[in-house]
Amino acid sequence: MSTPASQPLDQAKLHEFVMKAVGEMGAAMNAALIVIGDKLGLYKAMSGAGPMTSAELAKKTGTAERYIREWLASQAAGGFITYDAATGKYTLPPEQALALADETSPVFLPGFFQVVAACVKDEPKITDAFRSGKGVGWHEHDHGLFAGTERFFRPNYRAHLVSEWIPALGDTEAKLKAGGRWRTLAAVWALRLF
């Protein structure tokens, strides 16, 4: 078996891969910061509030300014919020507010990041499953998987289930109105999607 050192390296490909991996690292770390921003109500506090300093956001949310300052800097670096160097203030643009602060929005994302955090927390169990082949029971997953999944999908179900998706089932809608079972109807609906 040859070792990586004995194989010729394309430096450009290596650099491209390392930069891709660094991007993945940043995304993984930012997932935790998005969950923190959601849990502490930071996005909601910024939504529609206009430009604010770290001290103003900390006061509004009852959090420590030093940590808020670091959180804001990282969110600005990632393009989640904007920063005005002339005023030292941060703003949550309306597009990001729709995706990060409005739980009724069909593009609300923090629930998805809860799922990501749950997957990281479940890593030891999944690693053991690779070794044993026994698997991981649905009930054994971190609670964030369930809460995040519900929060991520809820807005679309509320917006589309009754008004569009059930009517698209045609005669199944009549069965539902006649007292059809939700479990059966959900299975039929799922099959029609795939």
In tens, the pLDDT along 160-189 reads 888 888 787 777 656 666 766 655 556 555
In a domain, 183, yes or no: no
Distance CA(67)–CA(154), nearest Å, equals 31
pLDDT for res 3: 59
150 or 160: whose pLDDT is higher? 150
Residue 178 inside a domain? The answer is: no
Instruction: Identify whether 181 is part of a domain.
Output: no
Residue 121 in contact with residue 46, Cβ under 8 Å? no
According to the model, what pLDDT value does residue 161 have?
82
Q: The domain containing residue 72 runs over which residues? A: 9-159
Residue 137 is assigned to a structural domain of this protein: yes
pTM of the full structure: 0.77
Which segments of the chain does DSSP mark as H helices, in order?
11-39, 42-46, 54-61, 65-77, 94-100, 110-121, 123-132, 143-160, 171-177, 182-193
pLDDT in tens, 9-60: 999 999 999 999 999 998 889 999 999 999 999 999 999 999 999 999 999 9
Q: Using 50, 70 and 90 to split pLDDT, how confident is the model at 72?
A: very high
Residue 79 lies in a domain: yes
Number of domains making up the chain: 1
Residue 177 lies in a domain: no
Instruction: Yes or no: say if 34 and 100 are a contact pair by the CB < 8 Å rule.
Output: yes
Q: What per-residue confidence (pLDDT) applies to 2? A: 56
Long-range contacts of 69-74 (CB under 8 A, 24+ apart): 71/33, 71/36, 71/37, 71/42, 74/30, 74/33
Asked if residue 51 is part of any domain, the answer here is: yes
What was the pLDDT predicted at 50?
98
CATH number at residue 146: 1.10.10.10
Question: What is the per-residue pLDDT for 171?
Answer: 74
